[in-house]
Copies of this chain bind each other. A is one copy, B any other.
Amino acid sequence: MTTPLPTSQVNIPPGVIDLGVGDPPFSLLPLALLREAAETRFSQNDPYFLQYGAEQGDGYFRLALANFLAEGFGFPVTADRLFITNGISNALDQICTLFTHPGDTILIEEPSYFLALRIFADHGLHTISIETDEDGLLIESLEEKLREFRPKFLYVIPTHQNPSGHTLSADRRARLVELSREHDFLILADEVYHFLSYNSEPPKAFAAWTEDAHVLSLGSFSKILAPGLRFGWIQAHPEKLQRLTGCGLLDSGGGLNPFTSAMVRSVIESGGLKQNIARLTGIYSSKLRVMDGALRRHLTEAVYSVPSGGYFFWVRLPGGIDAVELQRRAVGFKVNFRPGVRFSSRGGLRDRIRLSFVFYEPQEIEQGVIRLKQCLEHGE
């Protein structure tokens, strides 16, 4: 072999600091935890996890996960309300197949996670966006759209949103659930960053409302353990779980991930997942302060609010600069980011950029922000 073959999704050109990357750092991928988990599982000499698995997911794994979630959320969670997925992207894809038809209308936040928008597009869905502010989506904007449209679902990232970093307030969560009942649409709550809270407890997760058949809480191990596992869960009402577990895909192949379930079950039961989250939140919160400090020192005219969790700063550039244009120039400064327009379903947010504070080491974060400042100063 002369050149290395592709293994990772993201390939950053040498020397470039890409603050746009939404991946965990390689140094925090829990190799030792998974090695121990594999040793534990294989030492038990039971090959059950190599067979076609139960459609809803391995019962023992769901029990371990339910206990973990109950402690983390602070309210009861039972194994029978959990369905095991290959991660949130896969869950969204499957939900679109089973609960929508091409041409259906769905609601999303403005801004929202741009790659989810692409999944919805693959299913031919018509996307309407809802305005947001510091406390998440604006109920008035939602009510206005509900007068005009009959959406199948609302896709929302309630806590430490991607890209804005904002968290939907408790009041608005409650009101949102009321509206989903009144107007009979589903809430797909992508709670991927819920356990990555650095200062204070976030408002109660949407998982708390899954006794209502309108709410599906989507969880993932990508940000709290490892993305390469492609592994997550849906917490939902039995009515919705039945449609998911009864679909043709699962009837044919059985549970979506028996092998990975068996490994991650050991990580949870040993307490390793909890420890891993404590480690991540400690390191990420210190990186967050590093990026905040760097932005204050070097990008004095940039406007942003400090996130209280998650992965991202959402920054408004000074003087109405177009971020796509800036990105073109940034190549020469060996720095990169995600332009805001990629998170807009209507070509807006052109003066925003998304910066991740988790992927790089502190010195690189500072250096990246300095390069960004240089790029901004040396405009055309």
Given contacts A119-B247, A227-B253, 7 further A-B contacts (CB under 8 A): A5-B58, A6-B54, A26-B51, A102-B102, A115-B248, A118-B251, A230-B259
Q: Could you jot down 6 A-B contacts, CB within 8 Å?
A: A6-B56, A8-B54, A38-B38, A51-B227, A89-B249, A222-B253
Query: Within 8 Å of chain B (Cβ to Cβ): is A307?
Result: no
| Cα–Cα, bound, A252→B251 (Å) | 26
Indicate if the CB atoms of A97 and B122 lie closer than 8 Å: yes
Identical subunits present: 2
Indicate if the CB atoms of B9 and A254 lie closer than 8 Å: yes
Indicate if the CB atoms of B51 and A23 lie closer than 8 Å: yes
A9, A29, A45, A255: most-surrounded residue (chain B CB, <10 A) = A9
Contact of A60 among B5, B45, B54, B101 (CB under 8 A): B5
Indicate if the CB atoms of A49 and B228 lie closer than 8 Å: yes
Residue on B nearest A243 in the bound complex, by CB: B122
| Cα–Cα, bound, A51→B34 (Å) | 13
Given A42-B34, A86-B86, A253-B87, also A120-B248 (CB < 8 A): yes
Indicate if the CB atoms of B8 and A122 lie closer than 8 Å: no
Q: Count of A residues near B, CB < 8 Å?
A: 77
Given A50-B226, A230-B257, A257-B230, also A123-B101 (CB < 8 A): no
A44 to chain B, nearest CB (A): 10
**Hey, what's the 0/1 contact readout for A60-94 against B, CB within 8 Å counting as 1?**
10110000000000000001000000111110110
A18 to chain B, nearest CB (A): 14
Indicate if the CB atoms of B5 and A50 lie closer than 8 Å: no
- Residues of B within 8 Å of A92, CB to CB, are 249
A169 to chain B, nearest CB (A): 27
Indicate if the CB atoms of B50 and A23 lie closer than 8 Å: no
Query: Within 8 Å of chain B (Cβ to Cβ): is A53?
Result: yes
| Cα–Cα, bound, A226→B87 (Å) | 21
Query: Within 8 Å of chain B (Cβ to Cβ): is A283?
Result: no
